[in-house]
Amino acid sequence: MMAQSDGDLEKRLAFVREAGRMKDIHRSGFTIEGQPESVAEHSWRLCLLVMCFSDLLDGIDVARLLKLCIVHDLGEIYAGDVPAIHQSPDDGRKAREQADVAKLASFLPEDLEKEVAALWAEYEEGVTREAILAKGFDKLETMMTHNQGKNPPDFDYRFNLEYGRERTDAHTLIRTIRSFIDADTEQLAAERQG
């Protein structure tokens, strides 16, 4: 183990303290009990999902995949989450998120600051095998939240059936897992129509 200065250790702790704000940033989904889901809760279950299927991911750097999942929504720490139905390519969201990641990462020692920024950029670009999987698992977790959450009466379950399709079709395992989630969605939509 490398010797670390107290200042280096304090910077790492300061980053983790600041990242704790993610617990207070709410998404548009709801928990099973009907509480607004936090970005931190989403990121935690995304990592749990990856862990549960990691043994089926041949040739994938699972540690890197988990790091991508951990940092993927750090850009929402100051400006908050924008629901998918309200996003557009030219809404300036990506630039805001990149600036927020840079601000948050600046709490870290320089080498880790660069690593966090690079991981976030890798996720956003979505080109590496790990980033493709991270984006796919991210969509699956969101769909699971939609299906499990205590949603308002006008919630459109059918939205899930096309949500993130490009990302979930990019890998065979993700596509297969999605088929199970889609079956749940179809059932919930049918029950809603009653």
Give CA–CA dist 107/90, Å, rounded: 29
Q: What is the reported pLDDT for 38?
A: 97
pLDDT at 4 over 90: no
pLDDT classification of 2: cutoffs 50, 70, 90: low
The kind and range of the H/E element at 113 are helix 110-125
**Of 4-8, 109-113, 134-138, 157-161, which gets the smallest average pLDDT?**
4-8
pTM beyond cutoff 0.85: yes
Instruction: Name 4's bridge partners.
Output: none
The kind and range of the H/E element at 40 are helix 39-53
Q: What is the reported pLDDT for 120?
A: 98
- The CATH number of the domain covering residues in 7-193: 1.10.3210.10
